[in-house]
C-alpha cells in the first residue's frame, strides 16, 4: 500500500519464490491466499504458477482439518511444503519466504513444523471513540487505531488485511480488536455494532487470524437493561447465551471474549459475592456451543493501598486471588496471567501464579507496547526478556510448556511504520516467532528480522544497536528489579517518588539507610513463599537472590555487596552512567548506517535516538542525584552530574 512500510515483508524477500515455477495443489480460502501471494511474487519477478508437471516449489494441501502444522523438505532440486490444513499451508509458505535462497539450495530432510502453543494472540487496547484521558489507543505509541476511526470501524480495511498478512508471516493467529478497559461506546460492539467487528474479522480472516472481542462484565445491565449482572442469575446467563449466538451468526469463526473484571474500576463478580471462576464460567458456557474461549485476566489487585502499611503487597494479589480457584474454571476458560506479578516492568520475577494452577488453562501475557520500556521512543528489543520468561522453570517445567496460549499487548497503530519507532517492529516479530517456537534463540530471531527488513549490508550495525538494548534500558532506568520510578499517569520518564506515596502499591521504600521491598517470608510480606522450591528458598535470602531482582525481594543497606562485588549504591551509579554511554554508542552506530538504510526509516530512528539520549541522561541524573541525597554515599569514581 502506498505510504505504508512493508516491515519485514518488502518485495525483495519474495524474490526467490517469485522467480520459480510453483505448483499449488488444494482448494480453500487460505489456499487462495497462498495462491494470491505466489501470483503477486511471480508478477514482480518473472516466475509462474504451473498447473502440473515440473516445478521448483510445491505447495500442497493434503486435507482440511484446520491444522496449522506443515512439513518441509528439499529433495532432487524441488522444495515441497505439505499441510493438512489451509493455515498450515500458509505458515509453510511464509517459512519458505523467510528462508529465502536457502529454501532452494542443497537438500533438507522432511521435517514437521508445528507451533508449541495453539493460540498466539495480540490484545489491542484500542478505543472506538477517542477517550478523554487515554486517547484512541491506551498505552499506544504508534498513532491511532488500525481498526477504528471517527467513532466507527474504518471503511477501507486494506491496511487491516495487510496487518493480518504481517501477523500470519510471523506466526500470530488471533487478535482482540478493542481495549480491555471497555468504555461505553466499545461495550456496544457486542450487540448493535457487531457488524463492524464482523467487517474487521473478514479482513483478518484472509490470513487465518481469528477475531476476539473485549467485553464488559456489566454488559447485561449496560446493554440489556437487566437489573443485575450476577453470573449465577438465570436471566443473566440466558442474556449472554442469546447475545453470543448473535455474535457467531455474524462471525462464525469468532474466537471468544477477553475480560478484565474487578480491577481498576472495571465491574466484576465480586459485586455479587461471586468468584472469578463463577464469572468466567458463565461466559464459557455461552461460548462453548460454538467452540469459543473466554480469556479472563488475572490482573486483579487492590489499587487503594496505604503506602504506610508494609503488610499489603500488590505482588501477592494474583496468586492470592486465583490459586484457591484452581480446578474450578471451565475447560474453555483461560486465565490470562501477566508474566510478572506487577505490571510489565523492565525487570520482574516470573509470576508465581504460573505453575501454581495445574488444573487451570493459562495464557501468559506479555507487553509488546513499550509502556515501561521507552514507549517506542527508545530502542528496547524485548526478545531476551521474553525468552527468559518462557524458559523459566517454576516447578521444573518451562513456562512455555505450562501455558496454553501466549498473548501480547499490541504495539501497533496507524503510523506509517506500524510501531512508530521502526526498530520496535522487532518486538512484534519476535513475539510471533517465540509464540510459535518458545525455545528458539531470540538472537537468531533478531537476525532473521534484520535480514528480512534491511537486507545483508546493514545487518551487523543494526544487530549492534539492538541486541543489548533491553539491558541498556534497564541500566539507565530502575535498578535491581525495584521497578516503576516513572512519571505517574503516562509512565514516561523518571520520577523516583512519583508513585511512592500513592494508593497503587508500587513502592521502593528508599530511606536514608537502604532501598527495596522486603518480600521475604521471615520478615516481609511473604511473597517469596508463593514460589515452589527451589525458588522460594533462592528469593528468600539477600545472599542467594539474583542481583537483578534483589530490590524486588529485599530491603537492603546501600552498602550491601552484590554478587558482582559492587555495593548497591555503586551499582546504581555505575549502571546509570554506563547506560547513557551505551545509548550514545548505539546512536553513533545508527548514524554510520545512513547510506545503507532507506532515508525515511533512517531519519525516523535517528530522531528517536535524540529523544532516547535526552531521556537516558535525565534518568541518569535524577536517579543518581536522588540516591546520593538519600544515602550520603559519594560515587567512588568521583563523577559529577553535568
- Distance CA(422)–CA(376), nearest Å, equals 9
Helices and strands of the chain, counted as H and E runs: 20, 20
Angle formed by the axes of helices 442-454 and 383-391, to 10°?
150
164's grid cell: 493480518
| Alpha-carbon gap, residue 236 to 396, rounded angstroms | 42
Of 481, 446, 489, whose CA–CA distance to 466 is shortest? 446
Residue 182 Ramachandran class (φ > 0 left, ψ -120 to 50 alpha, else beta) = beta
Question: What is the pairing mode between strands 405-409 and 361-367?
Answer: parallel
Cell 539507610 belongs to residue = 513
- DSSP character string of 298-363: -----SS--TT-TT--GGGHHHHHHGGGTT-S-TTEEEEEESSSSSS-SS-PPPTTTTS-TTSEEE
Please, which residues bridge with residue 334 across strands?
Answer: 295, 361
Long-range CB contacts (within 8 A, 24+) of 241-250: 241/285, 241/286, 243/190, 243/191, 243/219, 243/286, 244/286, 244/287, 244/290, 244/292, 245/290, 246/191, 246/194, 247/190, 247/194, 247/213, 248/290, 248/292, 250/194, 250/195, 250/197, 250/198
Residue 383 burial class via C-beta count within 10 angstroms: exposed 0-12, middle 13-18, buried 19 and up: buried
Determine contact, residues 139/197, Cβ cutoff 8 Å. Answer: no
Q: Provide the grid cell at 599.
A: 532515508
What distance in Å separates the CA atoms of residue 239 and residue 370, rounded to the nearest whole number?
A: 38
**Strand pairing category for 256-259 and 126-131:** unpaired
| 343 catalytic residue (yes or no) | yes
**Is the separation of the CB atoms in 459 and 200 below 8 Å?**
no
Contact 175, 16 (CB under 8 A): no
Out of 264, 444, 497, 598, pick the active-site residue.
Answer: 264
**SS3 of the chain: helix, strand, coil, percent, to 5:** 40, 15, 45
Q: Rounded to an integer, what distance in angstroms lies between the CA atom of residue 468 and that of residue 24?
A: 42
My answer on whether omega of the bond before 534 falls inside 30° of 0, hence cis, is: yes
Nearest to 353 by CA among 344, 345, 363, 366: 363
Strands (E) across 215-287 are located at 256-259
- H-helix or E-strand spanning residue 50: strand 48-50
The burial class, CB within 10 Å (0-12 / 13-18 / 19+), for 350 is buried
- Which triple of cell numbers denotes residue 254? 469468532
Mapping DSSP to helix (H, G, I), strand (E, B) and coil, where does residue 73 land? Answer: strand
Q: Which of 288, 313, 343, 365 is catalytic?
A: 343
User: b or e along 612-627 (b: 16 or more beta carbons within 10 Å of the residue's beta carbon)?
Assistant: bbebbbebbebbbebb
Concerning whether 264 is annotated as a catalytic residue, the answer is: yes
* Rounded-to-integer distance, Cα 76 and Cα 110, Å: 12
SS3 state of residue 23: strand
Residue in 68, 196, 371, 474 annotated catalytic: 371
Element (H, E) at 111: strand 108-113
Provide the annotated active-site residues.
264, 343, 371
Amino acid at each position: 500500500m502506498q505510504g505504508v512500510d512493508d516491515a519485514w515483508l518488502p518485495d525483495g524477500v519474495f524474490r526467490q519464490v517469485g522467480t520459480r515455477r510453483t505448483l499449488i495443489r488444494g482448494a480453500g480460502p487460505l489456499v487462495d491466499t497462498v495462491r494470491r501471494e505466489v501470483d503477486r511474487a511471480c508478477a514482480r519477478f518473472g516466475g509462474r504458477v504451473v498447473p502440473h508437471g515440473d516445478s521448483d516449489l510445491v505447495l500442497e494441501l493434503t486435507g482440511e482439518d484446520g491444522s496449522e502444522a506443515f512439513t518441509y523438505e528439499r529433495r532432487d532440486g524441488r522444495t515441497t511444503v505439505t499441510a493438512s490444513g489451509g493455515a498450515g499451508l500458509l505458515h509453510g509458505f511464509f517459512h519458505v519466504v523467510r528462508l529465502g535462497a536457502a529454501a532452494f539450495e542443497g537438500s533438507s530432510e522432511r521435517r514437521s513444523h508445528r507451533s508449541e502453543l495453539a493460540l498466539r494472540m495480540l490484545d489491542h487496547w484500542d478505543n472506538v471513540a477517542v477517550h478523554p484521558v487515554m486517547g484512541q489507543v491506551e498505552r499506544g505509541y504508534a498513532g491511532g487505531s488500525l481498526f477504528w476511526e471517527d467513532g466507527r470501524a474504518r471503511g477501507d480495511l486494506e491496511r487491516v488485511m495487510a496487518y493480518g498478512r504481517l501477523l500470519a508471516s510471523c506466526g500470530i493467529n488471533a487478535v482482540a480488536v478493542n481495549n480491555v478497559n471497555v468504555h461505553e461506546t466499545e461495550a456496544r460492539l457486542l450487540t448493535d455494532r457487531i457488524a463492524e467487528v464482523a467487517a474487521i474479522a473478514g479482513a483478518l480472516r484472509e490470513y487465518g487470524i481469528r477475531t476476539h472481542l473485549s467485553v464488559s462484565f456489566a454488559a447485561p445491565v449496560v446493554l440489556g437493561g437487566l437489573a443485575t449482572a450476577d453470573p449465577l442469575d438465570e436471566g443473566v446467563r440466558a442474556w449472554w447465551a442469546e447475545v453470543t449466538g448473535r455474535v457467531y451468526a455474524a462471525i462464525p469463526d469468532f474466537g471468544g471474549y477477553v475480560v478484565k473484571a474487578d480491577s481498576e474500576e472495571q465491574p466484576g463478580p465480586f459485586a455479587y459475592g461471586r468468584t472469578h471462576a463463577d464469572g468466567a464460567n458463565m461466559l464459557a458456557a455461552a461460548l462453548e456451543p460454538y467452540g469459543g474461549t473466554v480469556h479472563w485476566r488475572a490482573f486483579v489487585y487492590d489499587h487503594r493501598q496505604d503506602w504506610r502499611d508494609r503488610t499489603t503487597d500488590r505482588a501477592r494479589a494474583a496468586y492470592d486471588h486465583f490459586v484457591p480457584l484452581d480446578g474450578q474454571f471451565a475447560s474453555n476458560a483461560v486465565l490470562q496471567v501477566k508474566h510478572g506479578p506487577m505490571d510489565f516492568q523492565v525487570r520482574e520475577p516470573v509470576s508465581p501464579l504460573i505453575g501454581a494452577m495445574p488444573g487451570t488453562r493459562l495464557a501468559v501475557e506479555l507487553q509488546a507496547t513499550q509502556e515501561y520500556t521507552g514507549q517506542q521512543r527508545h530502542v528496547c528489543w524485548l526478545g531476551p526478556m521474553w525468552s527468559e520468561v518462557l524458559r523459566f522453570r517454576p516447578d521444573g517445567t518451562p513456562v512455555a510448556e505450562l501455558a496454553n496460549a501466549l498473548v501480547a499487548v499490541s504495539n501497533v497503530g496507524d503510523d506509517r511504520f506500524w510501531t512508530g519507532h521502526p526498530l520496535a517492529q522487532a518486538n512484534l516479530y519476535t513475539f510471533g516467532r517465540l509464540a510459535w517456537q518458545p525455545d528458539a534463540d531470540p538472537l537468531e530471531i533478531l537476525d532473521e528480522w534484520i535480514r528480512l527488513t534491511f537486507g545483508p549490508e546493514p545487518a551487523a550495525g543494526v544487530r549492534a544497536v539492538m541486541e543489548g538494548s533491553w539491558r541498556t534500558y534497564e541500566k539507565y532506568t530502575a535498578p535491581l528489579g525495584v521497578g516503576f520510578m516513572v512519571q505517574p499517569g503516562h509512565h514516561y520518564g523518571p520520577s523516583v517518588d512519583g508513585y511512592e506515596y500513592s494508593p497503587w502499591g508500587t513502592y521502593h521504600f528508599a530511606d536514608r539507610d537502604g532501598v527495596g521491598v522486603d518480600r521475604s517470608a521471615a520478615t516481609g510480606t511473604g511473597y517469596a513463599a508463593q514460589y515452589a522450591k527451589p525458588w522460594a528458598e533462592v528469593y528468600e535470602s539477600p545472599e542467594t537472590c539474583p542481583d537483578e531482582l534483589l530490590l524486588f525481594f529485599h530491603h537492603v543497606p546501600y552498602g550491601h555487596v552484590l554478587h558482582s562485588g559492587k555495593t548497591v549504591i555503586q551499582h546504581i551509579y555505575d549502571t546509570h552512567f554506563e547506560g547513557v554511554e551505551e545509548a550514545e554508542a548505539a546512536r553513533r552506530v545508527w548514524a554510520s548506517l545512513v547510506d545503507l538504510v532507506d532515508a525515511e526509516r533512517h531519519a525516523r530512528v535517528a530522531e528517536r535516538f535524540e529523544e532516547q539520549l535526552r531521556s537516558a541522561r535525565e534518568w541518569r541524573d535524577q536517579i543518581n542525584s536522588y540516591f546520593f541525597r538519600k544515602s550520603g554515599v559519594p560515587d567512588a569514581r568521583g563523577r559529577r552530574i553535568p
